[in-house]
Structure 1
Amino acid sequence: MNTAAEQHANYQRVARAIHYLSARQATQPSLAELAAHVGISEFHLQRIFTEWAGVSPKQFLQFLTKQNAKRLLRSSSVLDSALACGLSGSGRLHDLMIKAERVTPGEYRSMGAGLQIHYGSCPSLYGYCFIAANHRGICKLAFYDEAQGEVELIAELEQEWAAAELIRDDRRAAAFHDTVFNARSNAKPEKLRVLLKGTEFQMKVWEALLAIPAGELCSYQQLADSMGMPTSTRAVASAIARNNIAYLIPCHRVIRGTGEFSQYRWGSERKQAMLLREHGISDTGLVVS
């Protein structure tokens, strides 16, 4: 079994491959060309890419074409069905039960006075993962690549919860990480709680994101339409950009109506990697959390 550090290293290699293939999609680069760019053998690249993503580099190229993205956007019956169930924060996501709670008005005003928030970082499938949580649930989940990224995330946490007691605990963060990203488990789904802090409109957008099934795509316009606010696409996009809980609140599943995979707070390659993994896992019948 790969260690967390090895998983992180493989993510870095796959991310480089994704960036290269995306930039040169029109020329359909060969496996040899891709391996030379990443700096590993063709055999090694093919193995880690397929093991990590569930699809080969060639299948990835097919998946990330604009035409395929547009086709997925047109196939909105699954999304419509999910949204028809109501925009509750308790929908199934990656075989985990996600319970979304809001901060109370008092907690919002007090900036977390009296709260203890434990935070830390660990390697993950998608680069370094930063997680902060209190007794009510995860209140921040983000990704970064360099040390400076963690410094910036800690500063954000200090600003968002200015009056709370912040305690560094990498071991606890790693435990949360294992619950969120525990791949291929037959165990009974574990209930996760996330604590959301935002305006009423932002809450509605984030709850709508929870209704998008794994492996499905949604455009900003479709999400606005589903909320009964067809003229609020820009406001919806702004609320998505303010999402503080990556992956669990799946803003990575929202793309432009043109099929473009840009506009992601934690990097377009990381967004593509998440979608690729979800798409590959669903195609192969595996379950990944």
Structure 2
Amino acid sequence: METQNLTDYSRIAQAIDYIKVNFKSQPTLEEVAEKVHISPFHFQRMFKEWAGVSPKKFLQYLSVEYAKTILKDKQVTLFDAAFETGLSGTSRLHDLFMNIEGMTPGEYKNGGEQLNINYSFAESPFGNLIVASTAKGICYIAFADDEQLAFADLQGQFPNAKYQQVVDMIQQNALYIFTQDWTKLNQIKLHLKGTPFQLKVWETLLKIPMGNLSSYADIAQSIDNLGASRAVGSAIGANPVAFLIPCHRIIKSTGDFGQYHWGSTRKAVMIGWEAAQLNQES
């Protein structure tokens, strides 16, 4: 992915941030394009190339009403129904993620003392990423707007591990998710540091297909613990693998997108981008 694509994302994020603030006035294409300092024609074309749909259509995916509609349509069999009616690609993606291995109690307690962790930086449609892996699978992904700070955060997760900056096949395979080319993905294995409850919540998040949204209450219900919405929220906030474990697909039951560890604007862009990708495939 070229650097220009990241510039496009930054402009799109800026445009969406502006629209979110000024949503009630329904700003025109010309007004939004002016705010990101490009011509309306260029903005329309750039947006279509990035998202696959027009800015107007994309913004429909971001509206609160869209979110409310998705949540309202969901029944008790939320995940099963989603897979029954979903695309084969998204269903297969779920299967690819089912191999989750929690770290041993020793690895969990000693800060990864026996772990050798490879890490690298990579570009995504939503900005720079830090991607880390052990011999067993992906252990960490985060958006890395500041690479030095991002690596320090990774070290905070596993303070006693040994690190090597190298790109391995585990990392490369996981990053194919952004290409939408499922044929290039082998099984994506995750090697995660978390409590049994956190692992259960993260595994449940993996069952939400691309382009779909869920609420904290939905997740609590799916793990048969209706009173655990707050604990679910804490587990979601502790998600160590951005995008692959799709905590960005969790919104408030009111339809409001809510906050996100890597920025609410980035969360909105990701939700809209996924809906646009799904629209292209349908």
TM-score, scaled relative to structure 1? 0.87
Q: What amino acid does structure 2 have at the position aligned with 1:45?
A: F
Structure 1 runs, 4 residues or longer, greater than 6 Å off: 171-174
Distance in 2 between the 1:4 and 1:194 partners?
Answer: 28
Instruction: Pick closer, same or farther for the CA change 1:285–1:260 going to 2, 3 Å.
Output: same
Q: What amino acid does structure 2 have at the position aligned with 1:162?
A: P
Distance in 2 between the 1:117 and 1:24 partners?
Answer: 44
The answer to whether structure 1 residue 157 and structure 2 residue 163 are counterparts is no
The answer (yes or no) to whether the contact 2:59–2:272 under 8 Å persists in 1 is no
Q: Residues 100-137 of structure 1: CA distance to partner in whole angstroms, max 9, x if unpaired?
A: 21111222123222321111212221111111111111
Distance in 1 between the 2:225 and 2:182 partners?
Answer: 39
How many pairs were matched up?
A: 275
The answer to whether structure 1 residue 113 and structure 2 residue 88 are counterparts is no
Distance in 1 between the 2:168 and 2:209 partners?
Answer: 30
The 10-residue stretch of structure 1 (130-139 or 48-57) with the greater mean CA deviation from structure 2:
48-57
Q: Residues 202-231 of structure 1: CA distance to partner in whole angstroms, max 9, x if unpaired?
A: 111111101111111101111111111111
Instruction: Pick closer, same or farther for the CA change 1:188–1:155 going to 2, 3 Å.
Output: closer
Any idea what SS the aligned residue of 2:120 has? strand
Indicate the residue corresponding to 1:202 in structure 2.
198
Indicate the residue corresponding to 2:59 in structure 1.
61
Distance in 2 between the 1:228 and 1:140 partners?
Answer: 27
Q: 5+ unaligned residues in a row in structure 2: which ranges?
A: 85-89
Indicate the residue corresponding to 2:177 in structure 1.
180
Indicate the residue corresponding to 2:2 in structure 1.
4
Distance in 1 between the 2:123 and 2:171 partners?
Answer: 8
Please tell me the root mean square deviation across aligned C-alpha atoms, in Å. Answer: 2.4
Instruction: Pick closer, same or farther for the CA change 1:136–1:68 going to 2, 3 Å.
Output: same
Any idea what SS the aligned residue of 1:192 has? coil
Any idea what SS the aligned residue of 1:249 has? coil
Identity %: 39
Matches for 1:136-285 after TM superposition, within 5 Å: 136-145=136-145, 147=146, 150-169=147-166, 175-176=172-173, 178-183=175-180, 185=181, 187=183, 189-285=185-281
Instruction: Pick closer, same or farther for the CA change 1:126–1:263 going to 2, 3 Å.
Output: same
Distance in 2 between the 1:50 and 1:181 partners?
Answer: 17
The answer (yes or no) to whether the contact 1:116–1:166 under 8 Å persists in 2 is yes
Any idea what SS the aligned residue of 1:243 has? coil
Indicate the residue corresponding to 2:87 in structure 1.
none
The higher relative CO (CA closer than 8 Å, separation ≥ 6) is in: 1
Q: What amino acid does structure 2 have at the position aligned with 1:257?
A: S
Deviation at 1:271, TM superposition (A): 0.9
Instruction: Pick closer, same or farther for the CA change 1:224–1:83 going to 2, 3 Å.
Output: farther
Deviation at 1:173, TM superposition (A): 8.9
Q: What amino acid does structure 1 have at the position aligned with 2:148?
A: V
Instruction: Pick closer, same or farther for the CA change 1:171–1:205 going to 2, 3 Å.
Output: closer
The answer (yes or no) to whether the contact 2:208–2:249 under 8 Å persists in 1 is yes
Any idea what SS the aligned residue of 1:187 has? helix
Deviation at 1:245, TM superposition (A): 0.2
Any idea what SS the aligned residue of 1:228 has? coil
Instruction: Pick closer, same or farther for the CA change 1:265–1:54 going to 2, 3 Å.
Output: same
The answer (yes or no) to whether the contact 1:120–1:173 under 8 Å persists in 2 is no
Instruction: Pick closer, same or farther for the CA change 1:96–1:46 going to 2, 3 Å.
Output: farther
Q: 5+ unaligned residues in a row in structure 1: which ranges?
A: 86-90
Q: What amino acid does structure 2 have at the position aligned with 1:245?
A: V
The answer (yes or no) to whether the contact 1:122–1:174 under 8 Å persists in 2 is no
Among 41, 44, 49, the residue aligned to 1:43: 41
Q: What amino acid does structure 1 have at the position aligned with 2:55?
A: P
Matches for 1:4-23 after TM superposition, within 5 Å: 4-23=2-21
Distance in 1 between the 2:92 and 2:202 partners?
Answer: 13
